[in-house]
């Protein structure tokens, strides 16, 4: 994401990229509206694709905010691979499904207790379905975004190396850049 | 003025990032749906404990005891029983399924007439014959490196909601030299160490 007009950089702003926001909006819309209105194969897969596209952006943004580490292309690949591998494992292996179900039940418990009066973590449904696994290709969205940004950064500043191109605008504001003294 | 605008823009963007992160984490956690609660959970004692807790709409399944045996010319390597929850006292019958997986290759399908000799009895002396039976023979792997398909048998029974323990599957023509019945009851809770 480009820096704001005068160069202030906001940590975690990768999550505001249009691809991330559209994926998040689609996930929320599908889970809370479309599945109820038109349950079926399409709405079943749409959550997987939207969630897998969005989650690596979330990981990188949290890493930026909490770990003070800017998103890089390598980190994007790592986030995409981690997300895809975790999803595939949960879909294919009962042990991973149980772990995920228990973890999500615990995370949901405070909200379930307040909203639904649950007295204990509510078991979750994770359907084993190998046909969901191809959706992991959506994880590549974050890699594509950061790769294109890196290319754009290099085009703007040919002196930037591939490793230095960190697409969420580490380019410091013009007023603070050291001058290229001849 | 320009610096004020930039600072304000940065604050708005920071707020937007916070909102997106919270929404994102919430969406991730909420996207896995919880189990549906049974619409008419029975009172305590109305439905047999054989069917397990009747709080959430889900399938239950467990291995029989023993879970492996030899009989009727077949070696069963895994025997299990399963059914659905949300049973009510008003249900005229509840479908319970027994699944037998055979060991070995080139195993033929168990004849249906053999499966029809299996019966279930309960602690009240009632006996039920199968309501349905099907089986399949061993099949080679669908592709190189894949696992073959084991021979199997499915037998369905329609039992009452108040089936009394112990619930036993009598093997009929699948009986062997050492085993002629399987317990379908839930395993007894293991005593806690003191």
Measured in angstroms, the CA of A27 and the nearest CA of chain B are apart by 7
* pLDDT value of position A150: 87
Local structure of A84: helix, strand or coil: helix
B156: Cβ contacts below 8 Å, ≥ 6 apart: B95, B96, B97, B98, B130, B131, B132, B133
* pLDDT value of position A96: 85
What predicted TM-score, i.e. pTM, was given to this entire model?
Answer: 0.59
Residues A108-127, mean pLDDT to the nearest whole number = 71
Q: Is the pLDDT of residue B113 over 80?
A: yes
pLDDT tens-digit series, residues A135-162? 899 999 999 999 998 888 888 877 655 4
Residue A164: count of CB within 10 angstroms of its CB? 14
Give the closest of A7, A8, A12 to B17, CB-based. Answer: A12
Interchain CB contact of B3 with A (< 8 Å):
yes
pLDDT tens-digit series, residues A32-62? 888 878 877 788 888 889 999 999 999 999 9
* pLDDT value of position B9: 87
Give the closest of B3, B25, B31 to A31, CB-based. Answer: B31
Interchain CB contact of B23 with A (< 8 Å):
yes
Local structure of A124: helix, strand or coil: strand
* pLDDT value of position B193: 46
Measured in angstroms, the CA of A151 and the nearest CA of chain B are apart by 24
Asked if B28 lies within 8 A of A55 by C-beta distance, the reply is yes
Query: Which residues of chain B have a CB within 8 Å of the CB of A122?
Result: 34-35, 56
Measured in angstroms, the CA of A182 and the nearest CA of chain B are apart by 30
Q: Is the pLDDT of residue B137 over 50?
A: yes
* pLDDT value of position B34: 62
Q: With CA atoms as reference, report the closest residue to B68 among B174, B145, B192.
A: B174
CB pairs under 8 A between A and B: 95
Residues in chain A: 182
Asked if B24 lies within 8 A of A12 by C-beta distance, the reply is no
Asked if B16 lies within 8 A of A61 by C-beta distance, the reply is no
Give the closest of B5, B24, B33 to A125, CB-based. Answer: B33
Residues in chain B: 194
pLDDT tens-digit series, residues B40-99? 777 777 788 888 877 777 778 888 999 999 999 999 999 999 988 888 878 888 999 999
What is the ipTM, given to two decimal places? 0.74
Asked if B29 lies within 8 A of A124 by C-beta distance, the reply is no
Measured in angstroms, the CA of B20 and the nearest CA of chain A are apart by 7
CA dist., res. A126 & res. B68, Å (int): 29
Give the closest of A6, A15, A31 to B6, CB-based. Answer: A6
Give the closest of A4, A7, A125 to B13, CB-based. Answer: A4
* pLDDT value of position A161: 53
Interchain CB contact of B22 with A (< 8 Å):
no
Interchain CB contact of B9 with A (< 8 Å):
yes
Q: For A17-53, b where at least 16 C-beta lie within 10 A, e where not — what string?
A: beebbebbebbbebbeebbeeeeeeebebbbbbbbbb
């Amino acid at each position: 994401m480009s820096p704001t007009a005068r160069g202030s950089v906001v940590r975690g702003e990768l999550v505001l990229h249009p691809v991330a926001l559209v994926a998040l909006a689609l996930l929320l819309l599908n889970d809370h509206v479309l599945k109820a209105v038109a349950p079926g194969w399409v709405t079943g897969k749409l959550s997987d694709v939207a969630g897998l596209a969005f989650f690596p952006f979330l990981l990188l943004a949290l890493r930026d905010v909490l770990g003070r580490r800017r998103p890089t292309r390598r980190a994007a690949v790592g986030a995409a691979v981690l997300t895809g591998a975790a999803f595939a494992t949960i879909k294919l292996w009962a042990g991973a499904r149980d772990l995920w179900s228990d973890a999500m039940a615990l995370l949901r418990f405070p909200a379930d207790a307040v909203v639904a009066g649950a007295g204990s973590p509510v078991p979750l449904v994770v359907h084993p379905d190998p046909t969901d696994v191809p959706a992991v290709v959506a994880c590549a969205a974050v890699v594509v975004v950061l790769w294109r940004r890196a290319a754009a950064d290099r085009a703007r500043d040919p002196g930037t190396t591939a490793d230095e191109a960190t697409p969420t605008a580490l380019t410091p504001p013009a007023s603070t850049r050291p001058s290229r003294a001849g | 003025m320009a610096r004020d605008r930039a600072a304000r823009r940065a604050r708005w963007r920071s707020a937007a990032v916070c909102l997106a992160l919270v929404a994102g984490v919430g969406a991730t956690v909420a996207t896995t749906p919880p189990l549906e609660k049974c619409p008419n959970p029975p009172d305590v004692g109305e439905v047999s404990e054989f069917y397990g807790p009747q709080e959430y709409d889900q399938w239950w399944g467990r291995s029989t005891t023993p879970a492996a045996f030899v009989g009727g010319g077949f070696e069963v390597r895994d025997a299990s029983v399963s059914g659905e929850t949300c049973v009510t006292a008003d249900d005229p019958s509840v479908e319970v399924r027994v699944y037998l997986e055979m060991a070995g290759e080139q195993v033929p399908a168990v004849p249906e007439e053999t499966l029809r000799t299996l019966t279930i009895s309960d602690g009240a002396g009632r006996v039920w014959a199968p309501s349905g039976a099907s089986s399949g023979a061993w099949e080679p792997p669908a592709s190189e490196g894949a696992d073959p398909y084991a021979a199997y048998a499915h037998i369905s029974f329609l039992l009452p909601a108040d089936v009394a323990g112990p619930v036993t599957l009598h093997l009929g023509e699948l009986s062997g030299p050492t085993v002629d019945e399987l317990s379908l009851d839930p395993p007894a809770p293991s005593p806690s160490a003191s």
